[in-house]
Chain A
């Protein structure tokens, strides 16, 4: 067990380093985009004086290096500051900036909760579905069922998300008005209503992630079916279903858990397009809006959340695969 704790500590340390590098990359990338917050928010009204005034108010006239370290100093203490849009509006109206401003954290929190809700609904549908399909495909491999499932999931993963989303809207909202095409969930909505509104985006995400998990389950199990101990089980006269569930599946868990965790991370970080298509008020939409106006504090915070989700779920995947494999648990 001591090795596992060591690995966790090591990985967390590396994770923090990764977050740090990600923040530098994002900051540089946003700074390399043409135009800045002052110019994009002013649009046609961008007189040199107005641009200069906003840059001065927001500290955009400082050098990028000192701005980055200012931001980093706050972020380390858990203070992600206020979004440029908020700060600008405060100075716009003449009220003293700083007090009463919505912080980036407050702005992101409800959006992040929404994204997590969507990801959970998608995961609850996608994970059992793809595991079942994978086991069944392994059981009836090379049958018509196996081929149909393979073709269907592979074509859905090969299509761009927005295309899948529009196909689902066409089928389930336009041709057969069963589900709403608009997922505008809001506070105070009852749970069933919220679930109904979230269903189409969740199904879109399900279509995107199912193939990967299902194929991995199928491959891992088939791989094991050639092993001598499976042959032994068969010779004992066990039913094929029992052979797969009791004998093959536990040994195939490591790669499956790994790919499930990877796809869960995708459910959180890959929602941008889906949220925009369905008007789902999650973090992805906030992210897109913020990039558009070069609102660096919000962009940075969103990216860090995405990166942290990836790192944590990857870490979980590695640890679970170690725990499920005695050979890795007790290395010689």
Chain B
């Protein structure tokens, strides 16, 4: 139903295209066997199987994508499906959630899976002193009840319609109860592959378990090997020389060369990662909505996509809700570059011309300083004189972001609207980088709280659309573009036509969803 509008899959491989054209369902072509070798960045010698510490693609793929399972899973098309839970039910106020767990599942050490495992694993995130990034999710649960061996009930402090989505978060993997210490050390999960060898920051090798509840749907490889390659050039080399079958995060500048190689193909999906220019709406002159509006019309978004992302992205509408979100309002009228309108709003604010400082650094995103200079050039005709202040990358997030009135920044994006908006646009939260609160739009803050507990999808869509409109018209963050996830594969590996778009590498689930061609 809403699937198609949510997808904006740009390119899959030529082989996949041919298969799709022949009308055969792709899944039918998937077959067991082989070893997938992937070169990934983001590995560190202090990596471990403790999912509370997972933060980058290497361990996210090895953890929740390969060795462990969560209760729920975001499918490649963005729909939510059960992983260790089979189905769930909410009370009308979205406060009490009952989950039925999958039966007959065993951990890699033979222990059978049940309600205790779920409760103990989730409690890790709110343990004394734990700084787990998923702590805020779990701390919303006021009570966890074991209703049966394979049924758990969660009582939330306040209603949250997205709760099952949040349980798909890669930190919330399920460990065997009573053996969590061993599991954190050795990586004992319920996933499709067991740990054969793991050298932190160097390499991970997983072997397929003999029988698994996902048999026939996922997990086609006999073995999967991750090689830590943090250096961009080395990663590209490894793919070119056939040392690995796939790499993440290819360099936009060398993409053309990779594309010219008939053995390789580029996989590109447009996701929620966005590059931003947040203004502090409680600091003059950004407290004046007309100044913010002038700046919204003074930026040439398409030019930034073309020159900063080299085409690997799409223009955005000053809202962080992106193409990988359920209620993304892609049909809203798009803000466009219009110096006359910018001048008009500047006049409304009482200025003929205005001088503004814009802080930028490569720490914010690749090419942030160049983007700021493009902004400077496009704003000049409107009488807005932007002075680009180049800040050091070290300490940028501590000394510049949310400190200087206007700067460059980025967000990785979140799987649900509420998660994104309540991270950076809810009154009083620490990462609110535009100091956006009810003095700016009381309506927005009310909607944010109401939509969270609303179970009716149609009503939620209306609410989130209205919030996206408010942010577009009055919001304190200029969001010119969404950046694509770009990865590359060689012809030995096949991937489904639909590739996950809320994180790199098919939502870090390439070991489950891809197969040897």
- Chain A residue with Cβ nearest B202: A281
B interface residues, how many (CB within 8 angstroms) = 44
Contact A33 B241 (CB under 8 A): no
Tell me if B351 counts as interface (CB < 8 A to partner A). no
Contact B395 A279 (CB under 8 A): no
Task: Report B389 CB to chain A, min CB distance, Å.
Answer: 16
Task: Report B223 CB to chain A, min CB distance, Å.
Answer: 14
Tell me if B46 counts as interface (CB < 8 A to partner A). yes
**A94–B431 alpha-carbon span in the complex (Å):** 23
Interface SS, B side: loop
Contact A94 B395 (CB under 8 A): no
Q: Point out the residue from A33, A39, A169 that lies within 8 Å of B397, measured CB to CB.
A: A39
Tell me if A43 counts as interface (CB < 8 A to partner B). yes
The residues of B that contact A181 with a CB separation of less than 8 Å are 234, 237-238, 240-241, 243
Q: Point out the residue from A35, A94, A187 that lies within 8 Å of B394, measured CB to CB.
A: A35
The residues of A that contact B52 with a CB separation of less than 8 Å are 92-93
Tell me if A61 counts as interface (CB < 8 A to partner B). no
Contact A94 B129 (CB under 8 A): yes
The residues of A that contact B39 with a CB separation of less than 8 Å are 182
Task: Report B363 CB to chain A, min CB distance, Å.
Answer: 8
Tell me if A83 counts as interface (CB < 8 A to partner B). yes
Given contacts A182-B237, A276-B234, contact A92 B243 (CB under 8 A): no
**A181–B244 alpha-carbon span in the complex (Å):** 11
Tell me if A107 counts as interface (CB < 8 A to partner B). yes
Given contacts A91-B129, A276-B231, contact A39 B44 (CB under 8 A): no
Tell me if A286 counts as interface (CB < 8 A to partner B). yes
Tell me if A277 counts as interface (CB < 8 A to partner B). yes
Q: Point out the residue from A50, A94, A182 that lies within 8 Å of B244, measured CB to CB.
A: A182
When A and B form their complex, which 7 residue pairs have the shortest distance between CB atoms, in order from nearest? A35-B394, A94-B129, A85-B46, A94-B130, A34-B394, A35-B395, A182-B243
Contact A279 B229 (CB under 8 A): yes
Given known contacts A83-B46, A94-B129, what 12 new A-B pairs fall within 8 Å (CB)?
Answer: A85-B45, A85-B46, A92-B53, A92-B131, A93-B50, A93-B127, A94-B131, A173-B241, A184-B228, A279-B228, A279-B229, A289-B230
Please list 6 pairs of residues, one from A and one from B, whose beta carbons are closer than 8 Å in the complex, sorted by A's number. Answer: A35-B395, A44-B431, A48-B398, A89-B50, A107-B45, A279-B229
Task: Report B475 CB to chain A, min CB distance, Å.
Answer: 19
Q: Mark B364-398, 1 if CB is under 8 A from A, else 0.
A: 00000000000000000000000000001011011
User: In A174-207, which residues have CB < 8 Å from any B CB?
Assistant: 174, 177, 180-182, 184, 186-188
**A115–B124 alpha-carbon span in the complex (Å):** 38
The residues of B that contact A187 with a CB separation of less than 8 Å are 197, 199
**A327–B417 alpha-carbon span in the complex (Å):** 83
- Chain A residue with Cβ nearest B411: A44
**A50–B131 alpha-carbon span in the complex (Å):** 9
Number of cross-chain contacts by CB at 8 Å: 125
Q: Point out the residue from A48, A91, A289 that lies within 8 Å of B131, measured CB to CB.
A: A91
A interface residues, how many (CB within 8 angstroms) = 47
The residues of B that contact A103 with a CB separation of less than 8 Å are none
Task: Report B13 CB to chain A, min CB distance, Å.
Answer: 22
Tell me if A112 counts as interface (CB < 8 A to partner B). no
Task: Report A3 CB to chain B, min CB distance, Å.
Answer: 45
Tell me if B409 counts as interface (CB < 8 A to partner A). yes
Contact A186 B203 (CB under 8 A): yes
Q: Point out the residue from B227, B231, B395 that lies within 8 Å of A34, measured CB to CB.
A: B395
Contact B395 A39 (CB under 8 A): yes
Tell me if A40 counts as interface (CB < 8 A to partner B). yes
Contact B124 A89 (CB under 8 A): no
User: In B31-78, which residues have CB < 8 Å from any A CB?
Assistant: 39, 44-46, 48, 50, 52-53
**A184–B38 alpha-carbon span in the complex (Å):** 12
Q: Mark B219-250, 1 if CB is under 8 A from A, else 0.
A: 00000000111110110011011111000000
Tell me if B128 counts as interface (CB < 8 A to partner A). yes
Q: Mark A31-54, 1 if CB is under 8 A from B, else 0.
A: 001110001101111111111010
The residues of B that contact A80 with a CB separation of less than 8 Å are none
Tell me if A86 counts as interface (CB < 8 A to partner B). yes
Task: Report A45 CB to chain B, min CB distance, Å.
Answer: 7
Contact A174 B395 (CB under 8 A): no
**A102–B50 alpha-carbon span in the complex (Å):** 15
Q: Point out the residue from B131, B132, B240 that lies within 8 Å of A174, measured CB to CB.
A: B240
Contact A289 B44 (CB under 8 A): yes
Task: Report B391 CB to chain A, min CB distance, Å.
Answer: 10
Given contacts A93-B132, A186-B199, A276-B231, contact A177 B392 (CB under 8 A): no
Contact B202 A186 (CB under 8 A): yes
Given contacts A34-B394, A107-B45, A289-B201, contact A279 B401 (CB under 8 A): no
**A102–B394 alpha-carbon span in the complex (Å):** 27
Q: Mark A201-221, 1 if CB is under 8 A from B, else 0.
A: 000000000000000000000
Task: Report A82 CB to chain B, min CB distance, Å.
Answer: 10
Tell me if A278 counts as interface (CB < 8 A to partner B). yes
Contact A92 B132 (CB under 8 A): yes
Task: Report B187 CB to chain A, min CB distance, Å.
Answer: 15
Q: Point out the residue from A34, A91, A169, A186 that lies within 8 Å of B241, measured CB to CB.
A: A169
Q: Point out the residue from A83, A93, A110 that lies within 8 Å of B130, measured CB to CB.
A: A93
